[in-house]
Amino acid sequence: MGMAGCAFAPWPKSAIAGATPEARVANAQEKLHKKPEAAIPRKDMFVTQEQAITELLSAAEKARSNSDYDEANALYERVKELAPNNVRAIAGKVGIEREKNHVKQVEAARVLLAQKNADAAFSILRGVLIEDPKNAEALKLQREIRALKESARSEPPRLKPPFDKPVTLEFRDVNIKMLFESLSRATGINFILDKDIKTDTKATAFIKKAPIEDAIEMVLATNGLQKKALTETSALIYPNTPQKIKDYKELMIRSFYLTNASAKQVAATLRTVLKSRDVVVDDRLNMIVMRDTPEVVRLAEKLVAANDLADPEVMLEIEVLEISRSRLQELGIVYPNKLAVATSASATALTLQALRSTFRNGAVDASQINVSPNPTANFKKTADDINLISNPRIRVRNNEKAKVLVGDKIPIITTTSTANVGISENVTYIDVGLKLDVEPRITLDDFVNIKIGLEVSSLGDPVKNSAGLTIAYKIGTRNASTLLRLKDGETQILAGLILDDERKSANKLPALGDIPLLGRLFSDHTDSKSKTEIVLAITPHILGNISRPDAEVSEYWSGTETGITDRPQINVPASGAGGAANRFNNAIREPIQPEPEPSATPDAVAPAAAEPGSIPEFVQPPVNNVIDGSNKSTPP
């Protein structure tokens, strides 16, 4: 064949003599090269090559799991020498490069965290976990960052200078644009106002010694406005209406590849809890694709992490014992109950007329007289103890049913007669033996609730039809069903399914067998006792229970009824507002230092004195860093 000339590789003699996977493949290929038409060498070559590839791939996966990437890469190369187009080897080499990159990214995130830049570190880890959700180092570092953020929530805000300094602003019925002029002076942030902000909007604010970030939030929330960070020192202010939110709100697409949970069920949860509409389910990949705001996507990540958990499993050790005890005693003499006389010419029984004729001829001797049965003396006593043991071990997933059958399938023939067609026979099978149905439910406290159904059946006497053909059997059965609650490793024994049978019979000679004491000489007595008991012992061993999710994915902020966000916020929605305002982008870190303006207008009340080192209080300064989207000038 064509394969004989191309499958053989010129392996060196030393490799053929060795014990490596390549040597075994080379040896098999050499045998095939000698006999290219033989079926056995061809089969041996295929099997040897497959075993060698499997061995090398297993070693590569083990080295890869131990982070020995150089060794794993070398093993994948050896696989490619045997099979250049092996998919697992190619994918393994790509995976190694990606894992190396993940190691570098995790280390970079660890350095950023040491530099107190938790947000940047968290962003890097998020990218790693999108590609590898089970990366242990990334998950560990992410939990550390979340723990730091959780502990910081209970403390007062600590922002970088000058945001960590308090500010006091007092305005009464001031034009909203002038108010932002004051905020721009105080914060160093350039505010760009949307053209649809009403120019006659009046705002009143009394803010005393509040962080600048909170002051901005309160002004926006109480006036039905929303903001969007454009640069580190610029922000867009627009009305908090559904249409404007659609115009300015950035959306992102996120794909979730689920491992354990059902994509349809998780998608329904996202639609219900997060009010997400753009959610698509791919059943083939068990994947969810959603398009929403970054805040909603971050919440979706936590929801998916809390739902995509592996189902717990339990190993059930089941031991079934059928203990059977039987006693049989048979004592006495069995006398004949039948007499037959036959002529020498015939072995058949004679009629009365033939018997008279025979006696008249005087031709009857002892050989012609036969009694049945022959007299027998019985002195028998037996005792049997039988233990039938079945010890199945079955692994079951949580809330799934498992069945065990140890026995036989008995055929039952059913005959059906149809007019103008004829007679047809159907064969059905009945399970006879030990049948066990179990359905476990594993709880988080390492208990297992087990629903058990046990049936022990035995084959009885056949049931025949009028033609003498067996059409069915009598089935003896014992059933038990219950619901148990057992601790992991606890053994429970169920017993008491007892079948007790006692029988007595006697064969006697008329009259003589009824004589007290002496009657035993003229009778045969049989006494039998049998007792069968079923004992079931069951022991659950939990193989893997549900791991409780971390606190950060079990409890977190989700915004308000009208707006979804991943953190607490100041939200006083104005009439007609379509959603809650989001916290200002954390990228704003180094604002322009404000210049003090001692002047004030009659509409504002200046504070008595500024605290040392704090940001001066500004009241309606001249137009500075405010850009009006309506291209209208603001009067001084």
Euclidean distance between CA atoms 375 and 345, whole angstroms: 27
**What does the pLDDT look like over 549-597, one tens digit per residue?**
777 777 777 877 777 777 665 544 444 333 333 333 333 333 333 434 4
CA pair distance 332, 526, nearest whole angstrom: 9
Within a domain: 206: no
pLDDT at 152: 58
Question: Running along the chain, 636 residues long, what does each successive block of 10 average in pLDDT?
Answer: 40 51 87 83 85 90 88 91 88 89 90 86 86 85 80 45 65 84 80 85 81 79 84 84 85 90 93 91 94 89 89 87 70 63 52 60 55 62 65 87 85 76 79 87 89 84 69 80 89 76 73 72 73 82 80 76 68 40 35 39 38 38 44 41
Residue 512 and residue 464 share a domain: yes
| Token pair recorded at residue 250 | 């950035």
- Is residue 192 within 8 A of residue 623, CB to CB? The reply is no
CA distance 323 to 218: 81
Which pLDDT belongs to residue 602?
Answer: 38
Same domain, residue pair 69 and 139 = no
Strands 190-193 vs 626-628: parallel, antiparallel or unpaired: parallel
| pLDDT value of residue 258 | 92
For residue 201, give the amino acid letter: T
Angstrom distance (rounded) from CA 49 to CA 26: 9
Query: Got the DSSP string for 294-318?
Result: HHHHHHHHHHHHHH--PPPEEEEEE
Residue 76 sits in the same domain as residue 122: no
Please name the helix (run of DSSP H) or strand (run of DSSP E) that holds residue 414, with its range, or none. Answer: strand 402-418
- The one-character DSSP state at 233 is T
Statement to judge: residues 388 and 464 lie in one domain: yes
**Of the residues 153, 171, 197, which one is the last residue of a structural domain?**
153
Cα–Cα nearest to 207, from 605, 490, 524? 605
* Domain, as residue range, for 466: 315-323+381-544
Residue 127 placed within a domain:
yes
Q: pTM of the prediction?
A: 0.56
Confidence (pLDDT) at 364: 54
The answer as to whether 122 is a domain residue is: yes
79-to-11, 16, 25, 52 alpha-carbon distances in Å: 15, 17, 12, 8
What is the structure's pLDDT at 611?
40
Domain-located, residue 200: no
